[in-house]
Structure 1
Amino acid sequence: MKEQPIIHVGIMAESNIDFELSGNYSLPEQLSGTRFQASLIDNSIQITSEDGKTIAAESVVFSTKSAEDSFLLKAVTIGIDFHWEQKEDQRFRGDLKLVIESGKLRAINLVPLEEYLRSVISSEMSATSSPELLKAHAVISRSWLLAQIEKSKAIQSANEKYQSTEQREGELIRWYDREDHTLFDVCSDDHCQRYQGITKIISDKASQAIDATQGEVLTAHDKICDARFSKCCGGVSENFENVWEPVYHSYLTKVVDSEKAATTCVDLRQEDEADSWIRTSPEAFCNTTDKQILSQVLPDFDQATADFYRWKVTYSQEELTSLIREKTGIDFGEIIELKPIERGHSARLIKLQIVGSKKTLTIGKELEIRRALSKSHLYSSAFVIDHLNLQNGIPQQFVLIGSGWGHGVGLCQIGAAVMGEKGYNYQAILNHYFRDADLKKLY
């Protein structure tokens, strides 16, 4: 049986990084004390201690000698590109590594996988979550992480540049995953999994869920599953290949998020079916307004979001024109139409054509669409568009009526929280969202 791996987590990238060490860390011979500032000078890392001593190096590792040692990073940006983006001081156990990355200093935390998960599950989920939901999430997070590490090794050994953009005449298709991380395994923000070290309280329930599932992962066809999750699928989950790279995973396909199969025959890839589905509120696990259940999944700053199963956003012509120009860097002129071109199994748009008085372009996939139509991220790409108040054939108002929150692939967090409250165990929750996967204990 394998040993628990050490995970390299990219925490922050800045021109200057202030940090403090607590405990018995190994220091370079020239340095002493507990407070330091790292700066990038002449393509070299310069570290200055509180007594003014300085060293320069291409990379530096501050190694811990005890499981209780920790370091503090000042002004870490969290929620990057989201509506709640902010900075906060964060504390981590394990080693601290500083490297140079794309003209900035990168702080990396080296930490055992199960210790990493304690923070991830405590950060992603509330301590009020049901034990079965926490266990399911522990298995998913562990599986996803190990699958990404294996995928990175495969990409690097292939010695080929990973492509995440397809561009042809009149069309720009781009997907966002974590293949751009080459100096570490995962980042600490929502781009990968939210990891805050021991900054926030590590809940006893989260620790118990991790201990109860230690080393357990989802597997399919003799490989660890690239398990995914989002906040709310909107009633039907999406296929992996419609959101990320065009690779089919049998365990990441359409799942009707319900005890009933009322929508199994509905093909949400068809525009009329998608329109009808989105404009109504069908029964689903994730169709809930129960605040106790929602508080298990949504952190304090997200609980103000009341409408996520079905939602609406309205833009004037001027607002939408300015927004799309700002987010895409393209001047489309006046926006004449937002035209759905292709949808996935959950009605999420894979391709959207922006028709302007100066330019027409089809964009995708779902996150590219969400970024183009919102100052942060549109809740999802599962939406229909009403073009209102036409003047000389040009709409003066656009109403987006949407479904779900997030990419919708894999486990639906709110749906899983409802399942946990209904008495489903974590194996049943995983079986519901990952239909072609099995549980396996690795270590």
Structure 2
Amino acid sequence: MKQVLSKIIKWGTVHRAKFFVLILVTVTLLFLNCAEMPVFREEPPYPQIRQPAVTIKLLATKNSLRVSSDGSFVISCFPEEGERSVYYASAEILVKLSGEGITLSQKTQGELETDLHKVSFFPKEDKLWLYLNGKPYRGTVEITACKNPGSLLAFNIIYVEDYLKGVVPAEMGKLGQPEMEALKAQAIAARTYSLSRLGQYADKGYDLEASAEDQVYAGVKGEDPLVNRAIQLTRGEVLTHEGKIIHAYYHANSGGKTEYIERVWDKPKEDYLIPIDDENFCSWSKNYTWMESWTKEALERNIEEFLDTFETFTDEGMGNLLHLQIKNRSPSGRVEVLEVVTDEGYYHIQKDEIRWALKKGSDPTSILPSTLFDLKIERETDGSIQRVIAQGRGNGHGVGMCQIGAIGMARKGYSHKDILMHYYPGVKITKFY
């Protein structure tokens, strides 16, 4: 079989070949070293997996994408109609949207394929990485054409343990040996979160976003040796409650107390996601307290942009801002209902959406750090709003593990098990694989 493959690549950098099932199995064995990643899941049989793989949405763009590797790599092409094709390459490939399909080209070979709906890239060896627009990733890179709207979607199909290597440093920062137990706790929490989210975007073809929408994922560029060690030491460990993998939410800084999940989002109550006193562990951080301020005009603009995302919002706008009032707080003190009063009526903004409605006064492209705040309104002599000031604590939604608190606990000698039991009371650490 190696002779067949060598003939395919004998005469140049890239050569086209029909992609039959026999070749598919050979490529899987040769270039994944008998590993389990389900690259072509629709055509079994494949080797049984020893650990799960996840599909991460990296980006969506109308621009062309560049894919390369440090060595040889395989390109599997999926046309709208007809047989699949495979290429070997060692030079950069350009992927661009052409009409409703994908076109592949290379500088030395010109146009290779057109009218593709999907293309997958595999490194020849596990130790090699793929580069998407110069950014390195482990595993497989897959690019699909999204017809409505016309754009390219790029995904990274990767083993969970390798995925965590790009998540934990991005979420926690690069820490030292004194924080090792916090890194282990974060590795278990992130692994648990990942596995609990498998298939959440099944209709869109992926499992997780590469942003704070799920977990920040930086790929190989974000990896750190100490973090990789923490992941290795906790390999396959997840948090369970009553025999089921939990929803392991976490955030940057609780501001002194975490919160019930149902008081932050419209989600079911969970016995392990409840308010936990945390001030002794997280108050040392510079983001424990914060202050933001807005002019009347800036606040009107932010709130109206938020309200405009709802279909029921009037095209005439929200009107002239007259007053802001906190109507209800959660047990931890977070603002649960914020009333916005205008000369056209009033609006109730609830729970964590308040952060998206107000945004930062200092940076309207960013959401408010937390909903744990007090408001002060400064007015003109005629009673109109001049400035609104929010003084608050914490950073993030406040549900589950406080990352700054976990670091504080590790520095005080607590183990990763202590940390996880503190933030997720009643759960167990279970070896999943």
Tell me the TM-score normalised to structure 1 length: 0.76
- Please give the alpha-carbon distance, in whole angstroms, between the structure 1 residues aligned to 2:424 and 2:266: 19
Aligned partner (choices 185, 193, 201) of residue 136 of structure 1: 185
* 2:430 matches 1:409: no
Please give the alpha-carbon distance, in whole angstroms, between the structure 1 residues aligned to 2:195 and 2:212.
Answer: 17
Matching residue of 2:319: 333
Match among 189, 194, 199 for residue 216 of structure 2: 194
Query: Is structure 2 residue 63 aligned with structure 1 residue 41?
Result: no
Between Structure 1 and Structure 2, whose CA radius of gyration is higher?
2
Match of 2:144 among 86, 99, 113: 99
Structure 2 CA distance for partners of 1:52 and 1:364, relative to 1, 3 Å: farther
Partner of 1:171: none
**Whole-Å Cα distance in 1 between the matches of residues 54 and 90 of structure 2?**
27
Q: Summarize deviations over 1:283-329 as a string: whole Å, max 9, x none.
A: x311004xxxxxxxxxxxxxxxx4x2222212222222233234433
Indicate conservation of the 8 Å contact 1:2/1:442, yes or no: no
What secondary structure does 1:387 align onto?
A: strand
* Cα-to-partner distance string for 1:167-209 (whole Å, 9 max, x where unaligned): xxxxxxxxxxxx5973211111121111111123x22211111
Q: Distance in 1 between matches of 2:428 and 2:339?
A: 39
Alignment map for 1:133-212 (pairs within 5 Å)? 133-149=182-198, 152=200, 182-200=204-222, 202-212=223-233
* Amino acid paired to 1:57: L
Q: Distance in 1 between matches of 2:412 and 2:126?
A: 38
Quote the residue 1:6 is aligned against: 53
- Structure 2 CA distance for partners of 1:344 and 1:106, relative to 1, 3 Å: same
1:342 to 317, 324, 328: 328
d(CA) in 1 for partners of 2:140, 2:95:
16
Q: How does 1:211-250 map to 2 (within 5 A)?
A: 211-250=232-271
Q: Distance in 2 between matches of 1:392 and 1:95?
A: 63
Q: Deviations over 1:52-95 (max 9, x none)?
A: 22313111111233212222122xxxxxxxxxxxxxx4210111
In structure 2, C-alpha distance between the alignment counterparts of 1:52 and 1:248, rounded to whole Å: 57
* Contact kept in structure 1, 2:68 and 2:132, CA below 8 Å: no
- Secondary structure in structure 2 of the residue aligned to 1:254: coil
Matched-pair identity in %: 29
Separation in structure 2 between the aligned mates of residue 180 and residue 335 of structure 1, nearest angstrom: 42
Residues 350 and 364 of structure 1 are in contact (CA less than 8 Å); yes or no, is this contact kept in structure 2? yes
- Provide closer, same or farther for how the CA distance between residues 181 and 338 of structure 1 changes in structure 2, counting only shifts above 3 A: farther
Pick the aligned partner of 1:61 from 109, 117, 120: 120
8 Å CA contact 1:30–1:53 kept in 2: the answer is no
Q: Is the 8 A contact 1:347 1:382 kept in 2?
A: yes
Alignment of 1:267-416 (within 5 A): 284-289=280-285, 306=286, 308-329=287-308, 331-366=317-352, 368-374=353-359, 375=364, 376-416=366-406
Coordinate RMSD, CA, aligned: 2.1
The CA deviation at 1:389 is 2.1
| SS of aligned partner of 2:64 | strand
AA in 2 matched with 1:440: T
Structure 1, residues 193-242: CA drift from partner, whole Å, max 9, x if none? Answer: 11111123x22211111111110000002110110111100000011122
Determine whether 1:112 maps to 2:159: yes
Is the contact between residue 103 and residue 111 of structure 2 (CA under 8 Å) also seen in structure 1? Answer: no
The amino acid that maps onto 1:399 is: I
Q: Which runs of 5+ in 2 are unaligned?
A: 1-47, 77-84
Q: Relative contact order (alpha carbons < 8 A, sep ≥ 6): 1 or 2 greater?
A: 1
Structure 1 20/246 Cα, relative in aligned 2: closer, same or farther at 3 Å? closer
Deviation at 1:255, TM superposition (A): 0.7
1:391 is displaced (CA, Å) by 4.2
Gaps in structure 1 of 5+ consecutive residues: 75-88, 153-178, 259-283, 290-305
How far residue 424 of structure 1 moved from its aligned partner, in angstroms, is: 0.3
Name the SS of the counterpart of 2:55 in structure 1: strand
Give the structure 2 partner of residue 253 of structure 1: 274
Deviation at 1:15, TM superposition (A): 0.9
Aligned to 2:120, what secondary structure does the other structure show?
strand
CA pair 346-122 structure 1, distance change in 2 beyond 3 A? same
Alpha-carbon shift at residue 415 of structure 1 (Å): 0.9
Deviation digits for residues 120-142 of structure 1, max 9, x if unmatched? 11222233241101100000000
Q: How big is each residue's C-alpha offset from its partner over 1:123-166, in whole Å with a ceiling of 9 and x where there is no partner? A: 2223324110110000000000111116x3xxxxxxxxxxxxxx
Separation in structure 1 between the aligned mates of residue 145 and residue 325 of structure 2, nearest angstrom? 43
Q: Distance in 1 between matches of 2:340 and 2:125?
A: 56
CA distance in 2, matches of 1:426, 1:233: 18
- The change in CA–CA distance for 1:92 and 1:181 in structure 2 (over 3 A counts) is farther
Seen in structure 2, the aligned counterparts of structure 1 residues 122 and 310 have a Cα distance that, compared at 3 Å, is closer
Distance 1:133 1:351 in 2: 33
Q: What TM-score, normalized to structure 2?
A: 0.78
The alpha-carbon deviation at position 401 of structure 1 amounts to 1.4
Matched to 2:328, the amino acid is E
**CA shift at 1:33, angstroms?**
4.8
Task: Output the CA distance in 2 between the equivalents of 1:40 and 1:430.
Answer: 46
